[in-house]
Amino acid sequence: NTHRPALLLTGHITPHPPLEAQLMAAFDCHVLADEADPAAFIAREGSRYPVLVTSGKNGANADLIASLKGLKAIAHFGVGYDNVDVAAASKQGVVVSNTPDVLNDCVADLAMGLLIDTVRGLSASERFVRRGDWLKGNFRLTSRVSGKKLGIAGLGRIGRTIAKRASGFDMAIRYYSRNPVAGVTFQHEKSLVELAKWCDVLMVVVSGGPATKHLVSAEVIEALGPQSFLVNVSRGSVVDEEALIRALKDKQIAGAGLDVFADEPRVPAALMEFDNVVLLPHMASGTHETRKAMGDLVFANVQSFFETGKLVTPVPA
């Protein structure tokens, strides 16, 4: 087995276990999280691994990257790589790949589903039927989706795929991003507050990390106002959850649909109390088809790096 290239995994790839089996079959794999004493393991064998695989909860911080002396590449399972310290990696000459594009459709589908659920109250109405409340009267009226104003924060690959779907619902679309996106006809707003003031639904699709922490601030939530909704399919860190909870308590926002949370899988108990909030378990990319495509892309990146020294889908350094 010693002739197979050595591959280190920070942890088990829980979003897609078959990838782990695929990697095990092709490479001399080791899972760092299985070690009783990871530091001792790294001190002993840490220089043996040119490639590291990371995923959701099992990223790579600057310390881990610095401790792996032979490291050359990190292949991340996921399009968002906020839990991989790319700056630290680059400084050490380590390249990083993610899994872009293959999840655009399923994430955008889920985003639209969550938008409709949030605005039309699907989950709430389903709970209403199960509780037997229909026997006592009708469900509350909800809000119209078609023709409404959709503000998209972050018009990247996924944001544009959502925009395509929303266009099918005759929604008017504007967006916020640091810089205007070339080649799109939607109106760019220079501030997220301006976008929030304008829209009926704010869809958050920016990438995570320190640069976007609490981008959806108390001020942005206030700008949305009591008739508008917030939907987040990016990272929980982007939304000031405390401010959101306060706005929901004070009825200063119409409702929220959240697939991601600051400290997932722990969801703030306060959010569970609101019937106008839809809570999902970070499942936007979670289809058989997409998770397999993501796994195949991680595998292709690892294989390509061992064979050619190049990643298939590197992220910008």
Residues that bind ligand 8YV in the complex, under the rule CB under 6 A: 15, 55-56, 77-80, 103, 285
Q: Which is nearer to ligand 8YV, 12 or 48 (CB)?
A: 12
Shortest Cβ 94–ligand 8YV spacing (Å): 19
Give the residue from 203, 194, 199, 205 showing the smallest Cα distance to 228.
Answer: 199
**Are residues 96 and 86 in contact, defined by beta-carbon separation less than 8 angstroms?**
yes
- Number of Cβ atoms within 10 Å of the Cβ of 13: 25
E runs forming strands in 82-207 = 95-97, 149-153, 172-176, 187-189, 201-204
Active site residue 144: no
Task: State the minimum distance, in angstroms, from the CB of residue 103 to ligand 8YV.
Answer: 6
CB of 207 to ligand 8YV, least distance (A): 8
125: left (phi over 0), alpha (psi -120 to 50) or beta: alpha
Nearer to ligand 8YV, 14 or 47 (CB): 14
Query: Does residue 127 have an active-site annotation?
Result: no
Minimum CB distance to ligand 8YV, residue 134 (Å): 35
Q: Kindly state the smallest distance separating residue 79's Cβ from ligand 8YV, in Å.
A: 4
DSSP string of 263-280, one letter each residue? TTTPPPHHHHT-TTEEE-
Q: Indicate the Cα dihedral angle 25, 26, 28, 30, nearest 10°.
A: -60
Give one DSSP letter per residue of 27-92, joined into a string. SEEEEGGG-SSHHHHHHHHGGG-SEEEEETTB-B-HHHHHH-TT--EEEEESS--TTB-HHHHHHT
Residue closer to ligand 8YV by CB (options 214, 282) is 282
Respond yes or no: is residue 288 known to be catalytic. Answer: no
The catalytic residue among 235, 242, 246, 266 is 235
Find out whether 253 and 278 touch, Cβ atoms under 8 Å: no
Tokens 């990643």 correspond to what residue? 311
**One of 48, 174, 214, 282 is an active-site residue; which one?**
282
SS3 of residue 203 by DSSP:
strand
Place of tokens 């972050």: 154
Closer Cβ to ligand 8YV, 103 or 199, answer by number: 103
Nearer to ligand 8YV, 171 or 297 (CB): 297
> Shortest distance, CB of residue 32 to ligand 8YV, whole angstroms?
16
Query: Measured from the CB atom, is 78 or 151 closer to ligand 8YV?
Result: 78
Q: Provide Rg for the chain, Cα atoms.
A: 21
Catalytic residue ranges: 235, 264, 282
